[in-house]
């Protein structure tokens, strides 16, 4: 089997990308590969269970001065000269992979895009230079491209004419769906969770909430998570709670908050793990039609549990108002197919996709 170097700059911040990297490391190890994860920063509290039984090499910090960063990249590239395959994840690791390939052509290089390369459409000089550098000086030394969603794959195809193998993220574990408790509380609670950052459009959710509340005082908004926008939410009088995975969903759906509607408006996520987590818990879900979040949705001809895509702030507002009146959406909007989610977004499918990826690398 192969010696594989997994590269990710930061194993210290909770997020879908690093979770996917850790799950990938375990899956490759189970297939018999010798896997080492290289990172500039490690926090053992970041998905501690997933870090167990992995070989993780922490490199000198990437926060060093601008003149020493190229040296760090070159040094790591030199260290990797003996591996068989490099899987580079977030920047600047794709540069490490390309540089290693330049001097050791036998090494297979894979660039896994966990985020949409938004800078491809930028005209700012520095960012445009980065995009040009990647296209003409990095891409030629990358053997295989992997995208976390078809949304990202389409962007890469349009920009550089390279096709990508799409490997959707998976859930760490899948429990049985949570049955919402019958409640005498006729109010509606809007709920969302995830990193509280710019680009998640939490301000849009707050604006819609405040607008609807003027006519429907029995509506509430709860946000679970941590991040820079936590103070903004609290200043607006929004309830902010920690997110404890399934325990939070069980509490939210216990009936004490009335009817619960999960809302997702991120414009920066390439896939949308949070929306998948909400759907697998059987929460009625509103999703803004941006990025790759729609790829978490599977239709089924029923209306007991509903999802709905919205395309604007006005549509979001109208959809919430409809839900408040009917406690569900139109029948034709369908339910999320839990059986498909359980059978598709799991470790077995990830292992299958990785087998395809690695066999392609070995025979190329």
**Topology alike, domains 3-167 and 188-343:** yes
- pLDDT, mean over the chain: 87
pLDDT tens digits, residue range 45-70?
Answer: 999 999 999 999 998 765 555 556 78
> Where are the chain's structural domains?
3-167, 188-343
Q: What is the pLDDT of residue 326?
A: 80
Q: What is the pLDDT of residue 333?
A: 43
Q: Which of 99-103, 253-257, 288-292 has the lowest mean pLDDT?
A: 288-292
Residue 300 has pLDDT above 50, yes or no: no
Q: What is the largest CA-CA distance in the chain?
A: 68
Q: What is the pLDDT of residue 160?
A: 85
Residue 262 has pLDDT above 80, yes or no: yes
Residue 228 has pLDDT above 80, yes or no: yes
- Residue position matching structure tokens 């908004």: 221
Three-class DSSP labels, 273-332: HHHHHHHHCCCEEEEECCCCHHHHCCCCCCCCCCEEEECCHHHHHHHHHHHHHHCCCCHH
Q: Which of 32-41, 85-94, 173-182 has the lowest mean pLDDT?
A: 173-182
Cα–Cα dist 238/20, whole Å: 31
Is the CATH number of domain 188-343 3.40.50.2000? yes
Report the topology of domain 3-167.
Answer: Rossmann fold (3.40.50)
Q: What is the pLDDT of residue 100?
A: 97
Is the alpha carbon torsion for 192, 197, 199, 201 positive or negative? positive
The token pair at 314 is 């006005």
Residue 239 has pLDDT above 80, yes or no: yes
Backbone angles phi, psi at 48, to 5 degrees: -55, -40
For residues 128 and 329, the model is more confident at 128
């Amino acid at each position: 089997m192969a010696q594989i170097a997994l590269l990710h700059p930061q194993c210290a911040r909770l997020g879908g990308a690093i979770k996917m990297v850790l799950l990938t490391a375990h899956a490759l190890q189970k297939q018999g590969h010798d896997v080492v994860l290289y990172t500039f920063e490690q926090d053992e509290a970041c998905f501690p269970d997933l870090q167990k039984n992995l070989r993780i090499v922490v490199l000198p910090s990437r926060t060093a001065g601008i003149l020493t960063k190229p040296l760090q990249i070159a040094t790591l590239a030199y260290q990797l000269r003996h591996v068989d395959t490099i899987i580079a994840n977030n920047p600047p690791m794709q540069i490490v992979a390309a540089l290693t390939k330049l001097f050791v052509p036998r090494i297979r290089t894979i660039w896994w895009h966990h985020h949409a390369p938004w800078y491809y459409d930028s005209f700012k000089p520095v960012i445009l230079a980065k995009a040009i550098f990647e296209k003409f000086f990095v891409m030629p030394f990358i053997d295989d491209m992997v995208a976390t969603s078809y949304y990202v794959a389409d962007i890469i195809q349009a920009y550089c004419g390279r096709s990508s193998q799409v490997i959707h993220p998976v859930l760490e574990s899948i429990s049985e769906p949570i049955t919402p408790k019958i409640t005498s509380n006729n109010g509606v609670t809007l709920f969302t969770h995830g990193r509280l950052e710019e680009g998640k459009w939490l301000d849009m959710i707050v604006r819609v909430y405040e607008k609807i509340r003027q006519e429907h005082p029995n509506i509430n908004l709860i946000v679970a998570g941590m991040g820079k926008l936590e103070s903004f939410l609290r200043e607006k009088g929004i309830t902010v709670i920690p997110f404890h995975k399934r325990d939070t969903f069980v509490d939210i759906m216990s009936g004490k908050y009335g009817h619960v509607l999960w809302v997702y408006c991120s414009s920066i996520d390439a896939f949308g793990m949070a929306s998948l987590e909400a759907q697998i818990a059987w929460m009625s879900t509103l999703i803004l039609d941006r990025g790759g979040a729609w790829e978490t949705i599977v239709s089924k001809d029923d209306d007991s549990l509903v999802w709905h895509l919205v395309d604007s702030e006005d549509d979001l507002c109208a959809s919430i108002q409809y839900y408040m009146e009917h406690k569900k959406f139109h029948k034709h909007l369908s339910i999320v197919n839990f059986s498909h989610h359980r059978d598709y977004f799991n470790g077995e499918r990830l292992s299958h996709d990785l087998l395809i990826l690695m066999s392609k690398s070995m025979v190329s």
